[in-house]
Amino acid sequence: MQFKSEVQKIIDHLHKMEVFDSQDILDRSRKGYETMAFQLSGKKESIAIMEEINIPQNTHSIPCIIYRPSNEKKKKTSAIIYLHGGWFVSGSIETHDAVIRKLANATGSVVIFIDYRLAPEYPFPAGLEDINAASEWIINNSTALGIDENNIGVAGDSAGGALAISLATQLRTQLKFQILIYPAADNTLSTPSWETYKNGPVTNKEEAYRVWNWYLSSSEDKENPLAIPILIKDFKDVPPALVILAEHDPLLDEGVHLINNMKEGGVMVETLLYKDMVHGFMHMGGVLKEVQESVEKMASFAHKHFI
């Protein structure tokens, strides 16, 4: 299989990358994700302010990080809730800091990163419950946060894309848009693209089976559309979507399937297919120009739907 030279260099680098030496496959997965993002994301943009808050719940608190863009001017600014990827089991502010800074500056919006609980320690629906609770708190406290409650969107990559559409189907008209970046939409892994890229690059079928089983702990969960976006049937009043896909990605076909389902359900959908790109390319801004291009496309989409 042929890849463009920049992508091939990244693939070669990932094969050689040394990560945390542990017998625990979960530890290796989490540390490997952090190492990839750290080494490939490139120089981080400056922003005006980065604030950490904790949203209290009955049994725990939900950490969130608020990114205020360098060009923020309005007293009440538009906002984007960001949900990170990492196969529901990994990912953090360390893996996504560079991307979120770019998104905040490009959109001129406050971006709020929700650090939701992860499987397997906290399987579905724990992470989504955190996201629902945090999003409700953000909307209810919008004035204190200096954001416009009527101008809020959601974005997420990979597993975060699955969580973003789940949030959008619950909040519906309370959100102006959803941005889904190579979303993890189907746990069956039965599409042609999964067969083509079952051994990678970046992610593989063995890993995907393992993490879906960690995330979905019961047979009922495996039939829940809030966990598996490809099962969503009710798209009434779901906000417009921008879906970003990568050509050399095992998740490509399920992303296309999800797009078709949304369109059939009446959702306005724009699609961007990045030729030559691989899963997780948004973490590779230090090498790939497509990262900045995609951020600019996201910003244009957001500006079109904000009031």
Domain containing 62 — which CATH number? 3.40.50.1820
Residue 41 has pLDDT above 80, yes or no: yes
Rounded to an integer, what distance in angstroms lies between the CA atom of residue 63 and that of residue 54?
4
Rounded to an integer, what distance in angstroms lies between the CA atom of residue 120 and that of residue 196?
28
Q: Give 256's pLDDT tier (boundaries 50, 70, 90).
A: very high
Residue 21 has which token pair? Answer: 């030496």
State mean pLDDT over 85-101: 97
Rg (CA), the chain: 18
Torsion from C-alpha of 273, 276, 280, 284, nearest 10 degrees? -120
Provide the residue type at 289 as one letter. K
Q: Is position 166 annotated as part of the catalytic site?
A: no
Lowest mean pLDDT of 24-33, 114-123, 192-201, name the range. 24-33
Instruction: Judge whether 135 and 171 are in contact, CB under 8 Å.
Output: yes
State mean pLDDT over 238-267: 98
Quote the pLDDT of residue 33: 94
State mean pLDDT over 55-63: 96
Helix (H) or strand (E) holding 108: none
Helix (H) or strand (E) holding 66: strand 61-68
Quote the pLDDT of residue 19: 64
Q: Which of 41, 158, 166, 193 is catalytic?
A: 158
Quote the pLDDT of residue 21: 64
Q: What is the β-pairing status of strands 110-114 and 147-157?
A: unpaired
Lowest mean pLDDT of 16-20, 84-88, 189-193, 266-270, name the range. 16-20
Rounded to an integer, what distance in angstroms lies between the CA atom of residue 184 and that of residue 166?
12
Q: Give 130's pLDDT tier (boundaries 50, 70, 90).
A: very high
Provide the residue type at 111 as one letter. V
Instruction: Judge whether 272 and 245 are in contact, CB under 8 Å.
Output: yes
Does residue 77 sit in helix, strand or coil?
A: strand
List CB contacts of 259: < 8 A, sequence separation 6 or more. 241, 243, 269, 271
Instruction: Judge whether 101 and 67 are in contact, CB under 8 Å.
Output: yes
Number of domain units in the chain:
1
Quote the pLDDT of residue 72: 72
Quote the pLDDT of residue 17: 80
Q: Give 15's pLDDT tier (boundaries 50, 70, 90).
A: confident
State mean pLDDT over 244-248: 98
Select from 11, 36, 18 the least CA-distant residue to 90.
36
Indicate the DSSP class of residue 265. T
Q: Give 269's pLDDT tier (boundaries 50, 70, 90).
A: very high
Residue 131 has pLDDT above 90, yes or no: yes
Domain coverage including residue 45: 5-305
Rounded to an integer, what distance in angstroms lies between the CA atom of residue 240 and that of residue 117?
27
Q: Give 139's pLDDT tier (boundaries 50, 70, 90).
A: very high
State mean pLDDT over 10-33: 84
**To 10 degrees, what angle do helices 5-16 and 25-40 make?**
140
Rounded to an integer, what distance in angstroms lies between the CA atom of residue 123 and that of residue 47?
34
Q: Give 279's pLDDT tier (boundaries 50, 70, 90).
A: very high
Q: Give 206's pLDDT tier (boundaries 50, 70, 90).
A: very high
pLDDT in tens, 207-226: 999 999 999 999 999 999 99
State mean pLDDT over 177-183: 98
